Chains A and B, each alone.
Chain A
Amino acid sequence: MNDTLATGAIRRIAAVLALSVAGAAAADAQTLNAYSIWPENWARPMLQEFEAASGIKVNFLRFSSGEALARVIAEKNNPRVDVLFGGPVETFAAGVKEGVFEPYKPPSFAALPARFREANGQWVAIADDPLVFMTNAKFLKEHGLKAPASWDDLLNPAYRNMLQMADARTSGTAVTRIFSVMEVNGRDEEKGFAYMKKLRQNVQLYTKSGGGGTLPVGLGQAAGGIFFIVDALDTKAKGYDVEISFPREGIGTAAEGIALLKGAKNPDAGRKLIDWATSPAMQSLFAKHKINFVPAHPDVKTEPSLAAVLKDAKIFPIDDAYAQDNRKKFVARWIAEVLP
Chain B
Amino acid sequence: MPAAARRTVRDPALAIAAAVVAALLAFFVLYPLVALLARVFLADGQLGIGLLLEVLGQPGHRAAFANSLLLATLVGVTGTALGFLFAFTAARAGLTVAWARFLDVATLLPLISPPFTTSISLIFSFGPRGLITHDLLGLKGVTIYGLSGTLAAETLTYFPIAYLTLRPVLSAMGNTLDEMAMSLGGSRRHLFRTVTLPLAVPGLANAFLLLFAASLADFATPLILAGNRFPVLPTEAYLQITGLFDLQGGAVLSFALLVPAVAVFLLQRYWVGRRQYVTVTGKAGPEGTAKGVSPAARAVLVALCLLVAAFILYLYALLIWASVVAAFGANHAFTLDHYRVIFTEGRKAIGDTLVIALLGMPLGGLYGVLVGYIVARGRFAGRQLLELAAMINYALPGTIVGIAYLIAFNDPPVALTGTALIIVACYVFRYSPTGIRATIAQLHQIDRSLEEASESLGAKGGTTFRRIVMPLILPAFFAGLGVVFIRSMTAISATIFLVSIDWTLITVRILENMTELALGPAAAFSVFVIVVVMVVTGLVNALLRRLRAGQEMPVAGMGGG
Contact B245 A9 (CB under 8 A): no
Given contacts A62-B512, A240-B330, contact A74 B345 (CB under 8 A): no
Q: Which of A76-93 contact B (CB under 8 A)?
A: 77-78, 80-81
Q: Which of B332-389 contact A (CB under 8 A)?
A: 343, 345, 347, 350-352, 354-355, 358-359
Interface-facing stretch out of B276-284, B415-423, B453-461, B465-473 = B415-423
Question: Is there contact, CB below 8 Å, between B331 and A80?
Answer: no
Question: Contact string, A198-229, partner B, CB cutoff 8 A, digits 1/0?
Answer: 00000111111101101110111110000000
A66 to B410, CA, bound (A): 19
On whether the beta carbons of A206 and B228 are closer than 8 Å, the reply is: yes
Q: How far is the CA of A74 from the CA of B322 in the complex (A)?
A: 37
A219 adjacent to B328 (CB under 8 Å): yes
A2 to B345, CA, bound (A): 14
Residues of chain B lying within 8 A (CB to CB) of residue A67: 242-243
Interface flag for A39 (CB, 8 Å): yes
Q: Give the distance in Å from the alpha carbon of A211 to the alpha carbon of B326 in the complex.
A: 19
Q: Decide: B330 and A238 in contact? CB cutoff 8 A.
A: yes
* SS of A interface (majority): mixed
> Are A161's CB and B516's CB within 8 A?
no
The residues in A between 298 and 340 inclusive whose CB is less than 8 angstroms from any CB of B are: 331, 335-336, 339-340
Contact B128 A222 (CB under 8 A): yes
Residues of A within 8 A of B343 (CB): 2, 5
B130 proximity list for chain A (CB < 8 A):
221
Asked if B243 and A66 sit within 8 Å, CB to CB, the answer is yes
**Binary contact readout A60-78 vs B (1 if CB under 8 angstroms, 0 otherwise):** 1110101101100110011
Return B11 CB to nearest CB of chain A, in Å. 30
Interface status of A20 (Cβ within 8 A of chain B): yes
User: When the two chains form their complex, are residues A74 and B501 in contact, meaning their CB atoms are under 8 A apart?
Assistant: no
Give Cα A279 to B482, complex, Å: 51
Whether, in the assembled complex, A33 has its beta carbon less than 8 Å from a beta carbon of chain B, the answer is yes
Chain B residues whose CB sits within 8 angstroms of the CB of A80 once the complex forms: 418, 500-502
Contacts A218-B330, A239-B331; is A70 near B128 (CB within 8 Å)?
Answer: no
Q: Is B273 an interface residue (CB 8 A)?
A: no
In Å, the complex CA distance between A168 and B261 comes to 30
The reply to whether A205 and B501 form a contact with Cβ atoms under 8 Å apart is no
User: How far apart sit A69 and B242, CA to CA, in the bound complex (Å)?
Assistant: 9
Chain B CB within 8 A of A194 CB: no
With a cutoff of 8 Å between Cβ atoms, the chain B residues found around residue A240 in the complex are 327, 329-330
CB <8 Å contact, A241 and B244:
no
Residue of A9, A77, A204, A238 touching B354 (CB-CB under 8 A): A9
Whether A170 contacts B239 by the Cβ 8 Å rule is: yes
- Give the shortest distance, in Å, between B539 (CB) and chain A (any CB): 14
Asked whether, in the complex, the Cβ of B345 is within 8 Å of the Cβ of A234, the reply is no
Specify which of B242, B350, B518 is in contact with A170 (CB 8 Å cutoff).
B242
Tell me the nearest residue of chain A to B228, going by C-beta.
Answer: A206
Count of chain A residues with Cβ under 8 Å from any Cβ of B? 64
Which B residues lie within 8 Å of A113 (CB)?
none
Q: How far is the CA of A149 from the CA of B24 in the complex (A)?
A: 62
Min CB–CB distance B191 → chain A (angstroms): 48
Task: Determine whether A231 belongs to the interface, using a CB cutoff of 8 Å to chain B.
Answer: yes
What residues of chain A lie closer than 8 Å to B421, measured between beta carbons?
20
Are A70 and B243 in contact, CB atoms less than 8 angstroms apart?
A: yes
A70 to B497, CA, bound (A): 12
B156: Cβ under 8 A from any A Cβ: no
In the complex, per-residue mask of A115-133: 1 if CB is within 8 Å of any chain B CB, else 0: 0000000000000000000
The docked-state distance in angstroms from the alpha carbon of A1 to that of B421 is 24
- Interface positions, chain A 1-51, Cβ under 8 Å from B, are 1-2, 5, 8-9, 12-13, 16, 20, 33, 35, 39-41, 44
The answer to whether A235 touches B517, judged by C-beta atoms less than 8 angstroms apart, is: yes
Query: Across the interface, which residues of B come within 8 angstroms of A64, CB to CB?
Result: 243, 515
- Given A40-B518, A62-B512: A161 and B239 within 8 A (CB)? no
**Residue B241 is within 8 A (CB to CB) of chain A in the complex:** yes
B220 CB to nearest chain A CB (Å): 12
Note all chain A residues with C-beta closer than 8 A to B92: none
Say yes or no: is A167 at the interface (Cβ < 8 Å to chain B).
Answer: yes
- Is B402 among interface residues, defined by CB-CB distance under 8 A? no
Taken together as a complex, chains A and B put the C-alpha atoms of A338 and B241 apart, in Å, by 20
* A169 is an interface residue with CB less than 8 A from chain B: yes
Which of B241, B242, B411, B517 lies in contact with A214, CB distance below 8 A? B517
Say yes or no: is B127 at the interface (Cβ < 8 Å to chain A): yes
Q: Say yes or no: A211 contacts B228, CB within 8 Å.
A: no
User: A239 — which chain B residues lie within 8 A by C-beta?
Assistant: 326-327, 330-331
Are B501 and A5 neighbours in the complex by a CB distance under 8 Å?
A: no
Question: What residue of chain A has the Cβ atom nearest to residue B129's Cβ?
Answer: A220
- Whole-angstrom distance between the Cβ of A209 and the nearest chain B Cβ: 4
B558 interface residue per 8 A CB criterion: no
- Contact A39 B516, beta carbon cutoff 8 Å: yes
| 16 A-B pairs with C-beta separation under 8 A | A5-B347, A44-B345, A67-B243, A70-B242, A80-B501, A81-B501, A203-B228, A206-B228, A212-B517, A215-B519, A220-B134, A222-B128, A231-B517, A238-B326, A241-B330, A339-B60
Interface residues of A (CB under 8 A from B): 1-2, 5, 8-9, 12-13, 16, 20, 33, 35, 39-41, 44, 59-62, 64, 66-67, 69-70, 73-74, 77-78, 80-81, 161-162, 167, 169-170, 203-209, 211-212, 214-216, 218-222, 231, 234-235, 238-241, 331, 335-336, 339-340
